[in-house]
Every structure is written in C-alpha cells, then in structure tokens.
Amino acid sequence: MSKVVVIDIGSLTFQSIFSAFSQQKLKNEGKLSEDAFVMPCSYLFFMSMVSLLKRIGLSKDDCVILAGDGKNSWRKAFDKNYKGQRQAIRDKFDIDWATEYGKIQKVINQINEATDFHIVWISKLWNYLDLINTSEGEKFIDVEQIDNLSEEFSPEADDIAAICCQIFKDNDIVLVTKDVDWEMLGVNSNVKIFSMNVKYKGGTGVYKPVDNGYKILETKIRLGDESDNIIVDKENDTEKDKEVRRLIIDLINLPKWVTEPIENVLRNLPKKTSDFSKLPFPQSLAKRFPQIYSPNKIITYEECVKRIERKVVMAKNKKLKLKKEKTLRKLNK
C-alpha cells in the first residue's frame, strides 16, 4: 500500500444532489433551454469522484476508502441539538431525498462491486445503555431525559477519517472533503487535506494546507460550530458545556470505545479485485475511469501551497495599493 485516500461520501452526496436540483430548477424556470440535459445526481456523484481522484492521482497499490455516516450519530446522545437543523434545511427544498439518496447508493454499490475501493459505513454500534456505561456517558448523559434506552447510535465519516489517520501512520493520507472539521486532522504530518469545493485549473479540488489543527479544534470548542448546530450560550456557558463540546468536536483524541470498533474494521479490510465492466454508466464515465491512474491531471500539494502564497502576496499588494491611493487623495485635497 502506498497512500490512503479517504473520501467523504456525505460531502460528495449533498454536493451532487444540490447540483442536480439547481440545474433542474433553472430548467423549470426557463433559464436553460428545454432540450438542455440535466445530469442526475448519481451521474454527478460518480463524475465528481472520478475527477477528484484524477486530480489527486492514484497508483494501483493505493488504498481508497469511501467513508460514510452511520444512522444517528453517537454525538446526538451527548447533545440532542447536534445537527438538529439539518432536517429543517432539507425540508426547504422540493427534493425527494429518499429517492435521490437511493440513486447514489446504487452507484456506491456498483463502485464497491467493480473496484478494489472500500466502502466503510458502520451503523448501530451502540445504544443508550452502552453509552451510559462509558466514563463520558456517566459524566454527561442524563438518564432521566432518555425516552428510549434501546435507541441505537453510529459512528460518522469524521470518526472513520480520524481512525484512518491513527492506524495508517506509515502511509501518506489524503482526506477528501468539504468538512472543515477534518482539517484538524492535519496535525498528523502524513495527512493532507484535499478540499473538494475549490475551483482551480479548470476543475474542482485542491490541497488545502493546514497551519495548526489544534487551533482549529480549540476555536471550535470555544466558539461552537453553527454548521453542526453546536451553539455556545455565552451568558450561561459552563465548564461542563465546554467538556461536552470537546467530546463531540475533537477528532484528534476520540474515546477508546469509538476508536476500537472502527479500528477493527479498518485493520481487516478485505482483499479485493477490480472488474471495471461492472462500473456505472458503462458507455460514458466508466470508460474514463482508468484515467484516475494517469499522471496528466494531477494537482500537486506543492503547487497548491504556491497558489496560496501567491494569493497572500496579491492581497497584500492590493491592500498597499489602496492605502497609497487613500494617502494620495488626502494629499490632493
């Protein structure tokens, strides 16, 4: 195994569904021609994944892991408001989510069957009784507030990515995501973050250098994370509230009861062979799939660092120019 590439299925799924929805909406509003082809979310999902992998570049002995969220995150047992706004956001859009998820799940199943990629999607590892018996559960879970002790909880893609960073320490790791939380995992010297929502060189996806993953972590613990509905009540924030936030935000130091079952899965990934004839969209995208092993489209980490440095210099020059212009205006008055 050379390097390990971990792709955030959730980020890619939402991006694909919303992109397909937005295109269909434009067509319905007459902003696209009637004969314009609107690509389904499943096609966009597979196309985006192929494009990202081409930009990262793979060798045949690299390990690719598609990491997904299990149903009902364990974090909700410790903070019932965690990601509580997500359903309301989904309901604002006229999208049949079950159908769209089903389309993408079919493609993921085909990828799993056709490639040596690993789909890691773990569900229902714990119930409330399990979590109450952990040291964190004893400290933070109020048993009297639980309606159903048998309610089950699962790990998230975040946890899978975090454990990959722990057990594949001898390999270069590329984490592919839109989720800022994953950036804290850049504290590991062998880990690079590949942001899937930044446009560069006619495509989407660049390496995003992380200056200080610990700073990202501590800032989120102090200020919360609105995207995950982790809201800090500054007037009434207690030390216990802060400890709960640390528990659900910190991907660098996950509890042992989270890490062990995921480690067991990752250390026992099956040996797989590929049969690209089983890939989805056999007459189009499947034919281009082997290009993920071509060096022609690779975006290197070094050029992404230089890109950031150029942007910093340009911003400084712009600021200096505006300052000089302001000074000249004052002198000319």
Q: Residues 156-191: pLDDT tens digits? A: 999 999 999 999 999 999 999 999 999 999 999 999
Q: Parallel, antiparallel, or unpaired: how do β-strands 3-8 and 152-153 relate?
A: unpaired
> Do residues 206 and 289 share a domain?
yes
Residue 6 pLDDT: 98
Q: Verify that 109 and 8 share a domain, yes or no.
A: yes
Burial 285-310 (b: 16+ CB within 10 A, else e): bbeebeebeeeebebebeebeebeee
Are residues 262 and 325 located together in one domain of the fold?
no
Mean pLDDT of 217-222: 97
Q: With beta carbons less than 8 A apart as the criterion, state whether 157 and 10 touch.
A: yes
Are residues 316 and 271 both part of a single domain?
no
pLDDT in tens, 79-106: 999 999 998 999 999 999 999 999 999 9
d(CA 150, CA 112): 31
For residues 108 and 221, membership in a common domain is answered with yes
Do residues 74 and 110 share a domain? yes
Identify whether residues 234 and 86 lie together within a single domain: yes
Mean pLDDT on 110-125:
97
Number of separate domains in the chain: 2
* pLDDT of amino acid 169: 94
**How much helix, strand and coil, in percent to the nearest 5, is found in the chain?**
55, 15, 35
Instruction: Judge whether 217 and 249 are in contact, CB under 8 Å.
Output: yes
Report percent pLDDT > 70 for the chain.
99
What whole-number distance in Å separates Cα of residue 299 and Cα of residue 207?
Answer: 8
The amino acid at residue 109 is: N
CATH number (domain holding residue 254): 3.40.50.1010
User: Would you say residue 320 has pLDDT above 90?
Assistant: no
How many angstroms separate the CA atoms of 68 and 120, rounded? Answer: 6
214 and 258 both lie in a single domain: yes
Bridge partners of 211?
none
- pTM of the prediction? 0.93
Q: Report pLDDT for 331.
A: 76
222 and 305 inside one domain: no
Phi, psi of 202, rounded to the nearest 5 degrees: 75, 10
The CA distance from 10 to 17, in Å, is 11
Higher pLDDT, 200 or 332: 200
* Mean pLDDT of all residues belonging to the chain: 95
Question: How buried is residue 176: exposed, middle or buried, by Cβ count under 10 Å (0-12/13-18/19+)?
Answer: buried
Per-residue confidence (pLDDT) for residue 122, from 0 to 100 = 96
Segment 194-212 shows an average pLDDT of 93
Q: How far apart are CA 177 and CA 218, in angstroms?
A: 21
Q: Are residues 241 and 321 in the same domain?
A: no
Token output for 199: 């446009």
Contact by Cβ (8 Å): 181, 249: yes
C-alpha–C-alpha distance, residues 141 and 81, integer Å: 14
My answer on whether 221 and 321 are in the same domain is no
User: Mean pLDDT, to the nearest integer, of 71-79?
Assistant: 97
Answer yes or no: do 65 and 32 share one domain: yes
**What is the span of the domain harbouring residue 311?**
300-333
Q: 183-189 contacts: CB < 8 A, separation 24 or more?
A: 183/208, 183/210, 183/213, 183/216, 184/210, 184/213, 184/214, 184/216, 184/217, 184/220, 184/250, 184/251, 184/252, 185/161, 185/213, 185/251, 185/252, 186/210, 186/213, 187/212, 187/213, 187/214, 187/252
Q: Is the pLDDT of residue 1 over 70?
A: no
Tell me the pLDDT band of 333, cut-offs 50, 70 and 90.
low
